[in-house]
Structures are given as structure tokens and as C-alpha cells.
Amino acid sequence: MEQNILNAIKLRILEPIPERVSSQYISQLRCDIKRLIKAFEDERLETNAARATLAVYQYQKAEGRLVELPCKIWDALYVVDTDPTLSHTEVKTRYVDNAVVCDGGEIVLNDDCGEVICTAENIVKGSTYLDYYRVFTNREKAEKLINELEKET
């Protein structure tokens, strides 16, 4: 984008000047160049702000203060209770309302009722939460697990 603005400035400056230059032409030329320079400065400020934000995130990640969640807030998670004593297993859909980093660094995902769905690690590693709950980010994987469990019984 910066290069486009610079090219526009160069074209405007290098454009042929008429034999008779009116004060209106000079005034218009000044306005055009000022507008293009302002656009260039605005673009540069936005670029610098984006770079500064990225630098902050990189610093926080290096310090261990930036976490990456396995899903977005308000994403649906699909929970399967794998307890073998249950006669019927189904996929339950729960929506992530918030994520909490506990004292030990464990990230817990909660639903809109404030109940814990699972830890982020359970999703990433595919491990169970509270012995029997398996949590997935897509319904197909959850249903596949149910089919596998039904074949085993």
C-alpha cells in the first residue's frame, strides 16, 4: 500500500506542467500532494501500530504470558461421556463462554453456566476429563468415538 501511495505522489509530481501555469493549477497540485503525503503517513502509522502490537504479542509469548486456545470463545465443543456403565452414549454440545488460567498454569474452558467443560490440554492431547469425558472440536470425531464404543460392546 505504501508503494502505491509513493507511486501516486511521483506520478503527480512528474506529470507534465502546462505552458501557462495558473494559480489554481498550483493550488490543486499542492492539495493533491498534501493529500497523498497524509495518506502515506497514515498508512505508515497503521503499519507501525500493527508491528508494535505484534511485538507485544511476541514478547508475551516468549515470557509465557500468551496462551493459544484450541478453540475460540463461543465455539461449540462436543462432549462424549465414555463411562462404560452407561447404557446409552450421546454427543452433548457445549459452548465455550470463557477460559481461565489456573494457578498451576492449566487452562480450563467453561460454558455459559460457569461449569467446566474440560481443560485445553484434554482437547489438544485427546485425553479424558474427569476419567470419562472426551471432548472434541468437531461433531464427526465425537460421533466416530461413539461408533467405536458401540462396536466394542
**24-81 pLDDT tens trace:** 777 787 788 788 888 878 888 888 888 888 889 888 888 888 888 999 999 999 999 9
Does position 9 have pLDDT exceeding 70, yes or no?
A: no
The length of the chain is 153
Residue 77 near residue 93 (C-beta atoms within 8 A):
yes
Closest Cα partner for 116 from 139, 99, 136, 141? 99
pTM for this prediction: 0.63
Bridge partners, residue 130, by sequence: none
Strands, E, within the chain: which ranges?
76-81, 91-95, 98-101, 107-110, 116-119, 133-136
